[in-house]
Amino acid sequence: CGAKSDRRYIIELLNIEIEGLCMPRYEYRNIQPLPAAEKAFMDWIQKLDEQFANRNIEHRCTVVRDTLHELYLGRPYADPNPSSSLAEQALVHSFDPRNASLEPEYYGDVDAQKYAERKPLIWFWMMFDRSPVGLDHWLGFRMRAMIAKHVLKHIGKNVKIFHGVEVSYGYNLTIEDNCVIHKYVLLDDRGEIVVHEGSSISDYANVYSHDHDLNDGMIVTNRKTEIGPRARITYHATVMSGVRVHEHGLLGSMGIATKDIDPYTISVGIPAKPVKVKTIAPQQKAASDKTGT
């Protein structure tokens, strides 16, 4: 009874219309660092882009180790001094991706070669986000887009990825043009994920592409999960493995999509159920044009 009551309340909120009142539309403002900083940022990204283009694993590990050492400690890499504190030795060793263990490495279905090539760059991505410069949006958007070019199956143009985003394998993830992936999103591309053009995934959302057998958790089924085009996954929502959120679909905050969301449909709740069709849907617009409302 409580769940039905909550859903009715949500539907009522979604249906509220204030006659003659239009919500303002705000475009993003253009922000830029100072010229000297912008040049340093872009030169750094270009240099790393050229170095990451070399797919040799040892080369990538060395570049990442040296760059993280400079980023965190402000000086060129040197092997840890045995006389320094154990904490400092552990820190310096941890800059090297060869000394870091990441969860996807344990998975039995991982393509070991593909992941090994990407792991140094995934480690750099994670450590960049946790560094003093990782919260700088202007730099961060450009740095992550560059890294993603070497890690993901495909990344399109004008993609914005905020800090704290994590991927599983990377090589099974496609993000098309004009997408936004907000803070602390998990994109579990263990199966495959496609984020189609113009879609947005909000803070702390999770998108999965694998699930586990109920009786034996080691039995895993990988599926293809798709978002969009121009779909929205709002904050703290979860899209389960194999689900398709269709064109202009919207998953409400905290919702869990266990089934497909139809085009132009707003779904909310646990599990998510459809509660409204967007007014821009072709059938809705046609009806509105016909009645003149």
Residues 133 and 181 in one domain: no
- The reported pTM is 0.89
**Is the bond into 82 cis (omega within 30 degrees of 0)?**
no
pLDDT tens figures, 209-265: 999 999 999 999 999 999 999 999 999 999 999 999 999 999 999 999 999 999 999
11 belongs to a structural domain: no
Single residue among 119, 151, 183 that ends a domain in this structure: 151
Q: Is residue 26 included in any domain, yes or no?
A: no
User: Tokens 């940022």 sit at which residue?
Assistant: 41
Of all residues in the chain, the percent with pLDDT exceeding 70 is 89
Q: Is the domain of 133 the same as that of 221?
A: no
**Could you tell me if residue 47 is inside a domain?**
yes
Indicate if the pLDDT at residue 14 is higher than 70.
no
- The verdict on residue 36 lying in a domain is no
Q: Are 134 and 163 in contact (CB under 8 A)?
A: yes
In a domain, 107, yes or no: yes
Number of domains into which the chain is organized: 2
- The single residue listed with the structure tokens 């409400």 is 252
Grade residue 191 by pLDDT with cuts at 50, 70 and 90: very high
Q: How far apart, in whole angstroms, are the C-alpha atoms of residue 292 and residue 52? A: 57
Average pLDDT of 79-98? 96
**Looking at 151, 172, 195, which one is the last position of a domain?**
151
Verify that 137 and 157 share a domain, yes or no: no
* Shared-domain flag, residues 178 and 236: yes
The answer to whether residues 122 and 188 belong to one domain is no
Q: 193 and 108, same structural domain?
A: no
pLDDT tens-digit readout, 135-188: 999 999 999 999 999 999 999 999 999 999 999 999 999 999 999 999 999 999
Residues 94 and 165 placed together within one structural domain of the fold: no
**By residue range, what is the domain housing residue 91?**
41-151
- Look up the CATH number of the domain holding residue 185: 2.160.10.10
Domain ends where: 151, 181, 209?
151
